[in-house]
Amino acid sequence: MIKRVVMIGPDLRVRGGVSSVERLLVGDQIDGASVTLLATTTDTGKIIKLFQGIFSWIRFLPKLIFRPDLVHIHFASRGSTWRKLPFAVLSSLFRIPVVLHSHGAEFKKFYQNESGPIRKAIIRLFLNRASSLVVLSESWKEFYSGICSLSSERIVVMRNPVDFDALSQNFEENKSEKILITSNGRIGVRKGSYDTIDALSQLPQDVSEKVRFVATGDGEHEKLERYVDLKNLGTLARIEHWLPNNEFQLIRNSASIFLLPSYDEGLPMAMIEAMAIGQVPIVTPVGGIPEVIEHDRNGLIVEPGDITAISDAICRLVRDEDLLERLSNQAKLTAKRLDVQGYRKELFSIYLKSINSNSSHHSN
C-alpha cells in the first residue's frame, strides 16, 4: 500500500503545463495515496527562483526523515533540472524511490548544445537516480534512452492527461459570429507566435473577414503586440497577458481553432485541453504532437516555419464547415482517451513498480 508521496514541482498557481498536470494529481486522487506538493518555484524572477529552490531543499529534509513511500519529481530543462537534482540525490541517499517526470520541450537542446562534458555527466547522474523516468512520447523515450543508462522498462511513456469530464461539464458553447482562433501559453519564437501573425497577414479577404485571433500567455507579450501593429492586424489579432480564469474560459469556450505552430514541444497541455472542448488543432509535428495528432483526422499538421501552410490550414477550416465539425468531433474523442482517470491508474502502477524495484535493489 502506498500512503505518502511527495511531489516536487512548481507551485500550483504557476501558469503552464506542469502545474496543470500537478493539479490533477495532488491530494488523495491516486488510489487514495496522499500526494503532497513541495513547490520549488513560483512566477517570479530568476534570482528569487534561485532562493526559492535553495529554500525548498531545506524544507525537503524533514519530509525525508519521516520517510515518504516515494518522491515524484517534475523537471524541465536548464534551471528546472538544476533545482531538482538535489532532490533526486537526497532521496537516493535516504533509499527512497524516485520517479522523474520529464516535461521540457527544449531538454534536447539544453543537453546537446548548451551543456559541456561535466554538465552532461551531472545530468546523466540525475537521470540515472530514477527508479522510473516518465516521458511524454516515444520520441522522447528514444532520446532519453540514448543519454542515460536506465533500461527500456524503466522509461515509461505517459502522454499528458486531461480532466475530460470537468472540461466537458463546464463547457458552455458561446460561439461568436466570427470564427475565433486561440493560442495560449508561452509567447515567443519557439512557439511560432510570430509565424502565426505572418500567416494571419496572408489570409485572403474572404477568410480574414470571418476570423479573429486571441493569444493569451506570458513571454514576449509586448514584442508580439508591436509585431501585430507592424502588420496592421490590430482589428484581427489581440494579444493578452494571462487572464483571470473566468475571462480565459469565456475566450476558450468561444473558440473553434487552436493554433500552435511550435518549433519544439513536449506534449502541450493547452492543446489537449483545447481539444477536449472541441477546438481543432493546427500544430507542427514536433515532440509528442505527431503521436497524438493525425493530419486530416483530428487536426491539421503543418511544418515549423511554413507560413503559407499555416495560412492554408486556417483557410481550409474556415471555408469547409463540415471539415471543421468532423475534426472537432475527432479531437474531442482523442482528448477523451487521454482522460486523467486512466492516467492516475497507470501512474499508481508505476509508483508500485518503482517501490518494488527500489526495495529489490537495496536488498541485494
Which domains occur in the chain, in start order? Answer: 4-161+339-363 (3.40.50.2000), 164-337 (3.40.50.2000)
**pLDDT of the residue at 357:** 84
**Lowest mean pLDDT segment, chosen from 97-106, 168-177, 215-224:** 168-177
Q: Closest by alpha carbon to 193, among 230, 229, 235, 223?
A: 223
User: Does pTM surpass 0.75?
Assistant: yes
* Residue given cell 490590430 in the structure block: 234
Measure the CA–CA gap between 138 and 342, rounded to whole angstroms: 19
Q: Which three cell numbers stand for residue 197?
A: 501573425
> Is residue 46 very low, low, confident or very high in pLDDT (cuts 50, 70, 90)?
confident
For residue 47, name the pLDDT band (cuts at 50, 70, 90): confident
Neighbours of 128 (CB within 10 A): 16
Report pLDDT for 363: 53
pLDDT of residue 169: 74
pLDDT in tens, 73-106: 999 999 999 999 999 999 999 999 999 999 989 9
pLDDT digits (tens, 9 = 90+) for 287-331: 999 999 999 999 999 999 999 999 999 999 999 999 999 999 999
pLDDT band at 174 (very low <50, low <70, confident <90, very high): low
At 96, is the secondary structure helix, strand, or coil? coil
CA-closest candidate to residue 271, choices 260, 256, 255? 260
- Local structure of 101: helix, strand or coil: strand
User: Confidence band (pLDDT; 50, 70, 90) for 176?
Assistant: low
Q: Do the Cβ atoms of 256 and 175 come closer than 8 Å?
A: yes
* Average of per-residue pLDDT across 168-186: 81
pLDDT of residue 45: 78
The whole-number pLDDT of residue 332 equals: 96
pLDDT of residue 1: 79
- pLDDT level of residue 270 (50, 70, 90 thresholds): very high
Per-residue confidence (pLDDT) for residue 322, from 0 to 100: 98
